Structure 1
């Protein structure tokens, strides 16, 4: 298994990316070959400083970096030797099986759509995030920011993408799908949710259990929770703030700690042909290590292949 890593992406790269490699190599039992994409001279110095010597580390030189505040499409087009652009070329060529980055999110999405492309039949790929449950279980929420405005058929496809992800990567058999709404009754909601409900109800590829409300997000009522990206992003940021509040108030709670972005690592782009994981811009070593582990799971489970097969059917 080969995984490409943008070593220059993120507010604290490449240092924290290198530390993340060190964490991964010292704690993981699996051994993927890691293609470390970035400035070769900088990486060699840091590898020497942190005693990173392994046949599983391969440096791929990239002379440019797409900064976090750059226009995504323009930068991706003009900086063809950036770590993100080189990473996507490496992925498209089949030299790596997955690509991860904590860099410019917009540039990552541009690369995902134009270098790898959406799976045939998928109208709009989505970004999925895990949601800790009070019971200790894990839920999936999508979309969490890629598609602010959606049509009913988009949400219907998100339900299928989320179900496959929950099953393949998290081992949730026959995941329960809930439509996030302002009430449990079938007729509740705005135009989007009212039109989406019958599509989900008729979708034989999912286990639809009906509408869920905001109070159900952290409970076990649904394993996969569907909404537009505008709503999902607000929920995601609110959930992150729970961890920040608990940490600031020095509350040692295991449930609250599961909202720590470092332990989540990154979020996958579901609906594109190959595994792509996007990390938080402030990712540290732990987050980089967990992004690698998530990419491993996606490759090992063949989630993209299963999505391709499902949408062919």
Structure 2
């Protein structure tokens, strides 16, 4: 198993990413290797400072970096020697089994779409994220930013993708799938949610439990919550703020501690032909470590093959 990691992505790269890779490697077995994509001249001094044998990793030296504010499509094609571009080239060629980065989200989406491409039958891939539940555990929210505007059949597919992810990665049996709406009744909502409801209700391969409202986000009514990427991204950013505010105000609470993004590492792009994860731009070493370990789980569970089977 070879897990690709962009060392140059993120606000605190390359140090935070290298330290995260070191922590993750210690949790991997002998046949699981991390392949670092980035400037090797910047990587080796960090390993030396940590007294780490550089041979524990494999390297793909890169000479370019896609910045966080760059135009995604232009950057991917105009910087073929960037860590993100080369990472996707290796993923497409099967030289690595997964690829993750805390760098430019748009570039990661473009790279995934143009290299490994979407699974046959999937209209649009979705980015999924974890949302803590008030009692215990967490739910899956998607899409959280890949698709600001959606059609009903796309939201239906998000429900299928999220259900497979919850079942196989987090071992949730028969996960409950709900549609985020402004009311619980079937006829409530805008044109999109009204048209989506009957499609999800009639879908035999998901356990659809109906509409939920924003106040149900943190309870046990649903395991998988479906919405368009605009709604999902606003919701996710608001949820992340809860943790920041509690830290700033010195408020200690177990529930709000679970909003710390570091615990979940990265967010997968579901519906493409290989495991790809996007990390938070401010990812710490702990977040990078958990993103790598989630990559391993996605490879081990053959999630992509299970998605392909569902969309045949």
Which TM bucket (shorter chain)?
over 0.9
| Structure 2 counterpart of 1:229 | 229
The number of residue pairs the alignment matches comes to 311
| Structure 1 counterpart of 2:68 | 68
Q: Secondary structure at the match of 2:295?
A: helix
What does 1:249-264 correspond to in 2, within 5 Å? 249-264=249-264
Rounded Cα–Cα distance in structure 2 between residues aligned with 1:276 and 1:213: 30
| Structure 2 counterpart of 1:108 | 108
What does 1:235-250 correspond to in 2, within 5 Å? 235-250=235-250
| Structure 2 counterpart of 1:39 | 39
Structure 1 stretches lacking a partner, 5+ long: none
The C-alpha deviation readout for 1:199-224, integer Å capped at 9, x for no partner, is 00000010001111111110000000
Rounded Cα–Cα distance in structure 2 between residues aligned with 1:302 and 1:84: 23
Rounded Cα–Cα distance in structure 1 between residues aligned with 2:277 and 2:217: 23
Q: Secondary structure at the match of 1:281?
A: coil
| Structure 2 counterpart of 1:213 | 213
Residues 247-256 or 171-180, more deviating: 247-256
- Consecutive aligned runs of 4 or more in structure 1 exceeding 4 Å deviation: none
Rounded Cα–Cα distance in structure 2 between residues aligned with 1:156 and 1:307: 14
What does 1:187-198 correspond to in 2, within 5 Å? 187-198=187-198
What does 1:159-174 correspond to in 2, within 5 Å? 159-174=159-174
| Structure 2 counterpart of 1:95 | 95
State the Cα RMSD in Å.
Answer: 1.0
The C-alpha deviation readout for 1:10-56, integer Å capped at 9, x for no partner, is 11111001111222234x25452000111121112222121221644
| Structure 2 counterpart of 1:266 | 266
Q: Is contact 2:44–2:54 with CA below 8 Å preserved after alignment?
A: no
Question: Scaled by the length of structure 2, what TM-score is found?
Answer: 0.98
| Structure 1 counterpart of 2:283 | 283
Rounded Cα–Cα distance in structure 2 between residues aligned with 1:253 and 1:36: 36
| Structure 1 counterpart of 2:20 | 20
| Structure 1 counterpart of 2:140 | 140
Rounded Cα–Cα distance in structure 1 between residues aligned with 2:192 and 2:29: 43
The C-alpha deviation readout for 1:253-296, integer Å capped at 9, x for no partner, is 11101111111211000000000000011111011101101101
Q: By how many angstroms is 1:134 displaced?
A: 0.8
Rounded Cα–Cα distance in structure 2 between residues aligned with 1:131 and 1:218: 7
Question: Scaled by the length of structure 1, what TM-score is found?
Answer: 0.97
The C-alpha deviation readout for 1:104-135, integer Å capped at 9, x for no partner, is 11111110000110000000000000111011
Q: By how many angstroms is 1:190 displaced?
A: 0.7
Rounded Cα–Cα distance in structure 2 between residues aligned with 1:40 and 1:215: 48
Rounded Cα–Cα distance in structure 2 between residues aligned with 1:30 and 1:20: 16
Rounded Cα–Cα distance in structure 1 between residues aligned with 2:142 and 2:29: 29
Q: Secondary structure at the match of 1:116?
A: coil
| Structure 1 counterpart of 2:7 | 7
Rounded Cα–Cα distance in structure 2 between residues aligned with 1:290 and 1:15: 16
| Structure 1 counterpart of 2:309 | 309
Q: Secondary structure at the match of 2:184?
A: coil
